[in-house]
A and B are shown apart, each in its own frame.
With several copies, the nearest count.
Chain A
């Protein structure tokens, strides 16, 4: 389907989950994107970091809890989840407050490795500059 072109695709997530649909429908695109053999990265910046929070329980709001899907991304070959440290800090969060998203590295005897890459704002900005296509939601 990709006709030989490989591009850097960035999914930019800056919004909290549930208050609006963007986080959920962004994930739906990412899952489809996995079929296209492109180089996919996800960025979690500002309120986007809340999407990865541990322990989400949506029963009482009667919405679908889509947070387990992040952990399935590795099976789709999506293993680069960039999380910005400054965004966590402002919100009083650390990596311990986030889900432990992992993938199995097929080039390393299927060893389990973390998908979340904690980066500084400067590193996030530099990573953004390497992208071809940025999908914002």
Chain B
């Protein structure tokens, strides 16, 4: 399966939307850099991301959450927080990495 990475704010760009529109059932999506805003609860895109969780596994990079002042309790239920080591493990566990730049 593919590990999709998204590093753009979903409020500024179409990367997350396009990624979710192409991610096959069972694949993984990792939000990094400004992409981590997509993991927050209570935003205009939360419903879209929550719905996607039925289909794909979603991860978010903890160091990028912390840098931006997003407490982990503000992250949508069902999204798993990982560190750089976890990012490495996700790359190893999936056969291909596809960056939505």
Contact = CB atoms under 8 A, between A and B. Distances in A.
Find out whether A and B make contact in their complex, taking CB atoms under 8 A apart as touching: yes
Interface of A: 10, 12, 14-20, 45-47, 50, 53-61, 63, 65, 67, 90-92, 97, 121, 124-126, 128-129, 131-134, 136-137
Interface of B: 1-2, 7-9, 11-12, 14-15, 18, 21-24, 27, 33-34, 37, 40-44, 46, 62-64, 66-71, 83-84, 95-101
A121 B22 contact: yes
Contacts of B71: 55
B98 A12 contact: yes
Contacts of B8: 19
B11 A56 contact: no
Contacts of B84: 60
Nearest to B63: A60
Given A19-B34, A46-B18, A129-B24, A91 B68 contact: no
A60 B101 contact: no
Nearest to B32: A19
A58 B66 contact: yes
Most buried by B among A19, A56, A91, A124: A19
